[in-house]
Structure 1
Amino acid sequence: MTGISPDIASFQAASAFSGAGFTTEESEVITATPGRRHIAKQLIRFGSLGLVSAIASLVLSFTNASSGNLAGLIYIISGAVLLILLARSHWLNHLVTPLIERTLSRTTDLELRDYTQVLGLQDDYRVAEVDTETDEWLTSGTLAELDLPAEGVRVLAINRADGSYIGAPGPDTEINPGDTVVLYGQEHRLQELSDRDADDTQAHKAGIEDHEHQLEAQDQDNGH
């Protein structure tokens, strides 16, 4: 809800809460923003308190015979299972989401958008960076000539080998060997494109046919 994809947010939240402290490029995205730093700091504090409490409870349960070791163990396991079920509850998530959004709106000026929702990264659709080489399909002409939208693929950006960047490239733009291309489309198509030879027109035709079949199936599902 602070503009990070769910998988990254979940991993970084678990790292902060557990105290594992994974140092990845994603963690720099967290620490670079005041709002996200505040959330991570609170998770670290709550995680530390929870760990101390859990250790204390376990020690007391297994050392205080008068309280009943088995009963204490059952309480601890039951509590842990309940917390896990609550954490995975869609109902609870739906309930607390408006509260979290209001809190974030007061503590941070981040746009409360998730790029996975904006781009519709579902049903096998992905954003991928593809490194290009000589004699590959992606480097065999202009974007208009490559006709990637006909295959259900969009070129979002191009990172040139010389370090320059082209956002939302036009139809006359060419992809050069050594460039890194940011593509949006279905995962299997992006994977196939990254390995396609420059003269493999048959693969291009197959990609177009595959995309047309998918559009027809979507129209049928929508009742058109």
Structure 2
Amino acid sequence: MGTDFAILAFFSFMLTYLLICEIFTILFRLTGLTEETARFQVISMLTNCGFTTIESELITSSRKRRKLAFITILFGYIFSVTIVSMAINFFMRLNDGNSFHLIVKVIMTIIAFIITWYSFLKINFIKNNFDKFISKIGIKTMFKNQHNPIMILEVFKSEVIAEVTITNLPEELYQVQLKNSNIRLNYTLQILTIKKNDDTSVDVTGDTILEEGDKIIIFGSLKNIKKLFIKEKDFS
């Protein structure tokens, strides 16, 4: 019973470790990093691998990223120590005469673990709802409506497709129809889709007026998106 519990605890901890990786990846994406960059940064911090000078500048240049990095590294140390101690405990049990049955149990647990994690990543309903849940918590706790969090969805050389959650509507867009907002003229940005609080999409027309709580999918340069929707002092 003790061996079974040790195996179950070890792989449950590994699953939790991967979930933590996903959570911090989402939170770093809310600070304006792409998913690929955010995931690389999180894995580096959780595994205590460190960064090169250029990579570290992404973290040190932002106050919110520095705080988030500190928490991520702390989780990394805690999980690393726990996983190593569990692994040592497991290998010590290989000498108790039941090595074959123990290895079979481990293989079965690994298969179950892979299926569980693969299902989480591939079932869009589960993954999307998990991302939305963590994003809502991150926006409320990290930003406290100080600015409009930007999550980059795609990168096309110098331009991006991003999702902007409007928590603090810029003054120049307040009660202004899009055709009168000069978003295209002054910022060369194009709003592709608008999602309301209930996740329903609405048509984007010249008469559309943005409201707090809207999520917009926007295309243009990241610099101009930040210039319009983010106050640098709030974003740093």
Q: TM-score category by the smaller chain?
A: 0.3 to 0.5
Question: What TM-score does the superposition give when structure 2 sets the normalisation length?
Answer: 0.43
Structure number, greater radius of gyration: 1
